[in-house]
Amino acid sequence: MFSKVHEVANQVGHIIIGKDSQIRLSLVCLLAGGHLLIEDVPGVGKTTLAHALAISLGLQFNRLQFTSDLLPADVVGVSIFDREKNQFIFHPGPVFTQVLLADEINRATPKTQSALLEAMEEHQVTAEGKTRPLPEPFFVIATQNPAHQVGTFALPESQLDRFLMCLSLGYPDAAAERALLLGEDRRTLLKSMKPVMQPEQLLQAQQALRKIHSSAALVDYVQSLAHATRQGDLFAEGMSPRAAIALLQAARAWAALEGRDHVIPEDVQAVLIPVIAHRLRPLKSVSGKVSASSELLTHPDITKGRRDTILNSSSLASRTTRSRSTAVKMPRNASTGTPFR
């Protein structure tokens, strides 16, 4: 079942060149039933990634450009009076799809941004007093440019918390950029793509994650990470219970793509930064290539203590594997590939 997901990753990798890590994390986010926020400059392939994922998975795709004059009704839909039928007819908005690209979401007003809250959390929308379900699966990919702040409205914490992951595609390396320059136009390649999976298969894969085992020791490890963010003077607020649940669910999806039926600490480490960095608000700025929250997660107050005693103990490895012991490597940042310090 999950082998099909690898085929999707391979096909998308021929369109988005040199971004295998981001493609894999995007699929992990989708498998875990979450939504994806991409923070990056224009022109690096955000829209192409969303479109390629939708085609490869056989999902319906809509793109909505967020602007300051966009209204909530432009997102969820509106009722228009039909004179022939002498009644109001509801016309669904672009949110009634399976993959919604919310382009430059921070350019819309908070009122319009909030129109997505119910859709992202409940997979339904309420318009004019009536609740309507959204198609399944439902996946929101939102983009924003963190470098340009003029004329934008920062996403509130409540909305950020509804994105399971936050990624950055970044500029391609020299080899990938050369391949893009010499290769065929991406829009032409998108038109020639064929679905690798069907929506029903994706739903089955999402349901299969429930069978991925998480031991008590592994849950203790996730809980210790959550508690570490709530203590000390590093963050204004720590991880919410929703964030801890999202971290564990993403780790299950990562383990499934690794071909295992159980979660190990390395699965948690692989998705840690993309899942929680955008949810945390540091009390002091930290320089570096990754976000301040990502850098603060390597602070000694967080990496020592229970993380050392649990992660490096052979007892955890034996308890989180049912058939063999697993050697634990140093945790790595999935976004940059660099080891935690």
Q: Looking at residue 261, which CATH number applies to its domain?
A: 1.10.8.80
Q: Where among 176, 202, 228 does a domain terminate? A: 202
59 with 161, same domain: the answer is yes
Sign, CA torsion 223/225/229/233: positive
Q: Answer yes or no: is 333 within a domain.
A: no
138 with 253, same domain: the answer is no
Query: What predicted TM-score, i.e. pTM, was given to this entire model?
Result: 0.82
76 with 171, same domain: the answer is yes
Q: Answer yes or no: is 293 within a domain.
A: yes
**Distance in angstroms (rounded) separating the CA atoms of residues 261 and 324:** 12
Q: Answer yes or no: is 81 within a domain.
A: yes
32 with 104, same domain: the answer is yes
pLDDT tens digits in sequence order for the chain, 341 residues long: 788 889 999 999 999 998 999 999 999 999 999 999 998 888 888 889 999 999 999 999 999 999 989 998 999 988 888 888 888 888 899 999 999 999 999 899 988 888 888 899 899 998 877 889 999 999 999 998 877 777 788 888 888 889 999 999 889 999 999 998 988 888 888 888 999 999 999 999 999 998 999 888 889 888 888 888 888 777 788 888 999 999 999 999 999 999 999 999 889 989 998 998 888 877 765 543 345 455 545 655 555 534 443 444 334 444 444 433 333 333 444 444 544 43
| Three-state SS sequence of 107-160 | HCCHHHHHHHHHHHHHCEEEECCEEEECCCCCEEEEEECCCCCCCCCCCCHHHH
183 with 41, same domain: the answer is yes
Q: What is the residue range of 216's domain?
A: 212-320
Q: Answer yes or no: is 329 within a domain.
A: no
35 with 165, same domain: the answer is yes
Interacting residues of 280 by C-beta distance below 8 A, sequence separation 6+: 229, 235, 237, 238, 239, 293, 296
- Report whether the peptide linkage leading into residue 133 is cis, meaning its omega lies within 30 degrees of zero: no
Chain mean position to CA 102: 13
Contact (Cβ atoms closer than 8 angstroms) between residue 289 and residue 210? no
Q: Which two tokens stand for residue 235?
A: 């963050």
Q: Answer yes or no: is 337 within a domain.
A: no
